[in-house]
Amino acid sequence: MIFSKKFFNIYQKEEEIEKIEDVIFLGAGASASEGAPVQGALFKEYFRLYKDGEIPYTNSEINTRLVKFFNAFFGINVNQRKVENISFPSFEEILGILELSINRQESFRDYSFSPAKPLIQQIREDLIFLIAIVLDKKLETTPQYHEILVNRLKKEKRLSKTCFISLNYDILIDNALIKLFPEYHVDYGVEFTNFERKIESVKYWERPDPKKSIFLLKLHGSLNWLYCPTCISLTLTPLEKRVAKLVFEPQYCDMCGGEMIPIIIPPTFFKVMSNFFLQKIWRKAESVLTRARRIFFCGYSFPDADVHIKYLLKRTEINKGSTPEIFIINNHEGKPLYQKEEEEWRYKRFFKEKEKVHYTSYSFQEFCEQGINT
Ligand SMILES: [Zn+2]
């Protein structure tokens, strides 16, 4: 279907978006291929590190609070049991409950106030640090497959026509792309305070040149972004997961001196669009998806709960007037057939033109190495 240029003008007019043909959508499975724990294993991993004394930044207050919280809310006494044998609730489940409580301004017995703020809010912040700590610890090595992917696209001369949309907070794809500097510049789709300043340690960072820019849109935030709620600015710490350092040492905004906080939005966060920067990123993702000829979903199971993502995809599909070619790359060794069938069905029932939805047998690793013959 041909659609008029005029229609596109309601979206971004920038030339760097016009050149985009492919979108690579990175879900948790893509990071898992590099050794990141899947969501369900985050707590297990954290308490294993905690018990082995391997938490890199020792902040005993956070540990004490989390141990107490798991016992009080879920009857899990991590000090008395083998972590391997514990079934932890899912991350979304816990965050969902805390977010609702904060939104409704309600509380739980013994959980009304810590010295500084409502204890529930404190626990929510602790859990976000927990993700930062675990990912920091588990992903210390260089991202192998993300680099292979980026280099393959570069060789095939497709890199500048590709946009990455990531649902992960880790910085695997970021680091793979940053390695291609100065030939290519990572463009997160938002302004950072670092654009205005030259910091010696930030040698890989400057305002991206539109001719060289590769979009990396991180819909749920990132471990290398720090947000200042006072002056509403965002500071980028390339190649560094500075959020993890916040655990033992507060970081202050260079512009106004206010205390900075992480932008990591768990998928269940109900007000996902309330942050100014994330709004811009989601809007940009909409522009990009409306132009995309092909979307590659990597390591993303398309869960029912991700209603914001579905809304974004449906808007772009309907506004564009046609379904892009869709490829799902979710396979891994030993994946049960029923799970594959369920996933395929979930994708197919959602998009309008079913024949354009291709559920492949590729794993993320194979996709990185060989791509898909289309
Ligand atoms: Zn500030």
The confidence score (pLDDT) of residue 5 equals 47
Going by the DSSP 8-state scheme, the letter that residue 195 receives in this structure is G
Q: Are 361 and 138 in contact (CB under 8 A)?
A: no
Task: Tell me the three state secondary structure of residue 18.
Answer: helix
Kindly report, residue by residue over 301-351, the tens digit of the pLDDT: 998 878 889 999 999 999 999 999 999 999 999 999 999 999 999 999 999
Kindly report, residue by residue over 267-308, the tens digit of the pLDDT: 665 555 678 888 999 999 999 999 999 999 999 999 887 888
The confidence score (pLDDT) of residue 3 equals 47
- In which element (H, E) is residue 261 found? strand 261-264
For the chain, where do the domains classified as CATH 3.40.50.1220 start and end? 5-36+142-226+233-239+263-370
Ligand 1 centroid from CA 198, angstroms: 17
What protein residues have CB closer than 5 angstroms to ion ligand 1?
228, 230-231, 253, 255-256, 258
Mean pLDDT of the chain: 85
Say how many C-beta atoms besides its own lie within 10 A of residue 345's C-beta. Answer: 12
Residue 181 CA to residue 176 CA, distance in Å, equals 10
CA distances 316 to 127, 164, 311, 322, 332, Å, are: 33, 16, 9, 9, 29
Q: What is the mean pLDDT of residues 340-364?
A: 97
Ligand 1 centroid from CA 282, angstroms: 23
Residue 113 CA to residue 5 CA, distance in Å, equals 55
Ligand 1 centroid from CA 232, angstroms: 6
Q: Are 293 and 328 in contact (CB under 8 A)?
A: no
Ligand 1 centroid from CA 160, angstroms: 33
**Nearest residue to 147 (alpha-carbon basis) of 368, 371, 372, 370:** 368
The token duo for 26 is 């990175």
Ligand 1 centroid from CA 348, angstroms: 45
Ligand 1 centroid from CA 227, angstroms: 8
Ligand 1 centroid from CA 233, angstroms: 6
Q: Are 353 and 321 in contact (CB under 8 A)?
A: no
Residues 6+ apart with CB under 8 A from 117: none
Kindly report, residue by residue over 176-233, the tens digit of the pLDDT: 998 898 899 999 999 887 665 555 555 556 788 888 999 999 998 888 888 888 888 8
The token duo for 356 is 């354009």
Ligand 1 centroid from CA 236, angstroms: 13
- Torsional sign, CA 281, 287, 290, 296: negative
- Torsional sign, CA 90, 339, 136, 258: negative
What radius of gyration do the chain's Cα atoms show? 21
Ligand 1 centroid from CA 283, angstroms: 24
Ligand 1 centroid from CA 277, angstroms: 14
Residue 354 CA to residue 362 CA, distance in Å, equals 19
Grade residue 6 by pLDDT with cuts at 50, 70 and 90. very low
Q: Are 192 and 236 in contact (CB under 8 A)?
A: yes
Task: Tell me the three state secondary structure of residue 163.
Answer: strand
Residue 181 CA to residue 373 CA, distance in Å, equals 29
Share above pLDDT 90 across residues of the chain, in percent, rounded to a whole number: 41
The confidence score (pLDDT) of residue 195 equals 65
Q: How would DSSP label each residue in 90-144? A: PHHHHHHHHHHHHHTT---TT-SB-SSSBHHHHHHHHHHHHHHHHHHHHT-S--H
Ligand 1 centroid from CA 66, angstroms: 29
Topology of domain 5-36+142-226+233-239+263-370, per CATH?
Rossmann fold (3.40.50)
The confidence score (pLDDT) of residue 51 equals 86
Grade residue 16 by pLDDT with cuts at 50, 70 and 90. confident
